[in-house]
Structure 1
Amino acid sequence: MLAERELRELLQFVSPDPVLSVYLNTDPSAGNSDAYRLRLRNLLKGVNLPDDVAAIENYFQWEYDWSGRGVVLFSCAPQKFFRVYPLAIPVPDVVHVSDRPSVRVLADLLDSYGGYGVVLVDKQGARLFFFHLGELREQEGVVGEAVKRVKRGGASTVPGALGGIAGRTRHMEEVVERNMKESVEFAVEFFEANRVRRILLGGSDENVAQFRSLLPKAWQSLVVGHFPMNMNAGHAEVLAKAMEIGQKAEQRREELLIEDLITRAAKNSGAVTGLDATLEAVSGDRVSTLVVAQGYQQPAYRCTNCGYLTAKIMTTCPVCGGEVREIPDAVDFAISRTMRAGGDVEVIHASDQLIKAGQIGAFLRY
């Protein structure tokens, strides 16, 4: 299970020896265990790190239970570093060798599947879920006072007579409002504890609207969608619906993000696009959010002393005077450095606008 602590460890690990990173798709739709092992052997054919290859092959031979849909492994035998993270979501088959773990694919997965808070709400209470990388991490609930309906036809059912509508008294409305407020307070604590990045609301239109209106504005801004759902729905049903709605909302959000990035970069207003300008910002730890097209790779140059990144051909670092060497994938380094410095990474899956702008860009801290 990949939590923030594990991710932070990966980002901080830099080795004088090569680190082998392996992502393997083990989704049942992609075959069986024999097919996975064959793909793994083909992926590792060109890797000249026998101890690391042996460690990974031994793991799949004796330890992996093949119950997940993807698995991520990092190995650096000389440093006795070996980490494995089975996942509940499929991953692309990737092998990468560098001086640090390759977190490019993880950044994409975290961007797409990380930090979903889901609330099912009715007039009496709420059920709360936290889904991360396709797994249910937390599930809690709060139940308030029962809402008792009166029989239809009495004076209390006349609209306006007791501040209510047909079948509802003012007392009922007060109970509902009190329950909603308690549910919202409970939900805010739940969101904060789990560091939720996006929120989806399930229930009737009326209940969802009332719940959302009571949320603090900071949390309202994280609501990306809502859907009808029975309060007794199982977590698998809730997850499937949340992912469906969430992915559609993510596509719309990415479109707006790219428009904002390109507009601000053109005005020189806190954003840049293109590899040269982006690597310069990354090197200065000025990136608040790195934006990169999925699958984009580009060789560049990196200082072996201070880590300065540049797309320009050079042998001496202009910052510290250290030796500069060519690296096969500067984007992977940029992603790792941005996340290590506390910045966010947005992996864009389809955007002609971003491709025209150089496939990479960044919003700046200053």
Structure 2
Amino acid sequence: MFTDNQLKELAGVTTKSPALTVYLNTDPAMGSAETIKLRLRTLLKEVELEQDVAAVLDYFETHHPFTARGIAVFSCKGDGIFRTISLGVPVRDQVFTGDRFSIKPLADIFDVFGGYGVILVDRQGARVFHFHLGDLVEQEGVLGTLVKHTKRGGASSIAGQRGGTAGQTGYEDEVVERNMKEIAAFAVHFFEEKHIRRILIGGTDDNISMFRAQLPKTWQSLIIGTFAMSMTATHADVLARAMQIGKEAEAARDLKMVRDILSQAGKGVGAEVGLEKTLQAVSQSRVQTLVVTEGFRQPAHRCTGCGRLTVHTNPLCKDCGSKIVPVDDGVELAVNAVMRSGGEVEIVGNNPDFVKAGNIGAILRY
């Protein structure tokens, strides 16, 4: 399983030789393996890195099983690097070359589909799932005490007396509460172990409410949605519903994030928007969260000495005096730099207000 740490490691790779990055939609719904390979050859037709192109084509001819819905390929034959990452979600066909691998599309997929924990609960037990990048990674279950109506022989059926309805209800409530505590403890252990970042809960409204109340507040804060679903649902049904709700929750979160960053930047407090101001903050390692519109690319310039990024065409860096050279995509370099410095990257959908602000911004550390 490809992890966040591995993504950050990939962001930190600077190759001595030109590097090739390929993203390819391999969803069977897009056609046969031969059709997919034809699209790949067309995609690589203008790429001049002959050894890397040959390595990518050879992989798809001899090794790729065509079982995933998307794939990312990172190749730099000059540095002895070749890596593939299979994805459970489709991706847009793209190709990049340069002195770094292009991780922005992969960061986008992580942002939307990474680290989902889903739990189905009823009054007796639960099923928990770990979904990552569109794939089911693991599932487990827990079963508590059977909840059943009890009737004590010879006892009164009058509510409030021994064996009556109230007594039965009290006993059942105790069993359910105990089960929910056990389920919550089991779920927390599972979520911690799998490094879950988002939680979805399925079941009836009452069961969801009881389970939620037993979760520690730190885990409650990661809940992004709830839904009605039977404990016997297939993992395919659970995944489909989870991804649907997850996308809806991400869209709402994106909207709030854009509004917050625009508001903070407008007040001049803790945020910047626009390419030059954001690149400056990135170069100063001040960025806690980089926010970028999906698909946004922009040429820029980079200092060959200190690495400072800028949109300006000055021949020499104002910070260290080294030479400034053009780069094809300053946004990609900004994404890499933020991830290397331990910051986060959020890729958001098209928002008219954010487009006007420059399609890029940053929440600052200081």
Residue matched to 1:141? 141
Residue matched to 2:176? 176
The AA in structure 2 aligned to 1:269 is V
Cα distance in 1 between the residues matched to 2:158 and 2:209 = 23
The AA in structure 2 aligned to 1:126 is A
Residue matched to 2:267? 267
CA RMSD of aligned residues (A): 1.9
Cα 1:155–1:169 shift into 2, 3 Å: farther
Retained in 2: the 8 A contact 1:157–1:169? no
Cα distance in 2 between the residues matched to 1:219 and 1:202 = 16
The AA in structure 2 aligned to 1:305 is G
Query: 1:308-347, aligned counterparts within 5 Å?
Result: 308-347=308-347
Matched, 1:233 2:233: yes
Query: 1:189-338, aligned counterparts within 5 Å?
Result: 189-338=189-338
Q: Which digits, 9 at most, give the CA deviation of each residue in 1:58-83, with x for residues without a partner?
A: 00111111111111101000111000
Cα distance in 2 between the residues matched to 1:2 and 1:165 = 54
Q: Which digits, 9 at most, give the CA deviation of each residue in 1:258-303, with x for residues without a partner?
A: 1111111111111111101111111111111111111111111111
Secondary structure class of the residue paired with 1:242: helix
Cα distance in 1 between the residues matched to 2:183 and 2:125 = 6
Residue matched to 2:132? 132
Unmatched 5+ stretches in structure 1? none
Cα 1:281–1:161 shift into 2, 3 Å: farther
Cα distance in 2 between the residues matched to 1:281 and 1:155 = 75
Secondary structure class of the residue paired with 1:243: helix
Q: Which digits, 9 at most, give the CA deviation of each residue in 1:31-78, with x for residues without a partner?
A: 211221111111111111111011001001111111111111010001
Residue matched to 1:4? 4
Cα distance in 2 between the residues matched to 1:176 and 1:122 = 9
The AA in structure 1 aligned to 2:314 is M
1:157, CA displacement in angstroms? Answer: 7.9
Cα 1:43–1:144 shift into 2, 3 Å: same
Retained in 1: the 8 A contact 2:16–2:78? no
Cα 1:240–1:324 shift into 2, 3 Å: same
Retained in 2: the 8 A contact 1:201–1:208? yes
Retained in 2: the 8 A contact 1:149–1:167? no
TM-score normalised by the chain length of structure 2? 0.94
TM-score normalised by the chain length of structure 1? 0.94
Cα 1:237–1:155 shift into 2, 3 Å: farther
Cα distance in 1 between the residues matched to 2:324 and 2:157 = 81
Secondary structure class of the residue paired with 1:258: helix
Cα 1:189–1:90 shift into 2, 3 Å: same
The AA in structure 1 aligned to 2:306 is C
Cα distance in 2 between the residues matched to 1:12 and 1:309 = 16
The AA in structure 2 aligned to 1:117 is G
The AA in structure 2 aligned to 1:193 is E
The AA in structure 2 aligned to 1:201 is I
The AA in structure 1 aligned to 2:245 is I
Q: Which digits, 9 at most, give the CA deviation of each residue in 1:324-346, with x for residues without a partner?
A: 11101011111111112111111
Q: Which digits, 9 at most, give the CA deviation of each residue in 1:62-113, with x for residues without a partner?
A: 1111111111101000111000112111111010011111001001101111
Unmatched 5+ stretches in structure 2? none
Secondary structure class of the residue paired with 2:90: coil
Residue matched to 1:25? 25
The AA in structure 1 aligned to 2:43 is L
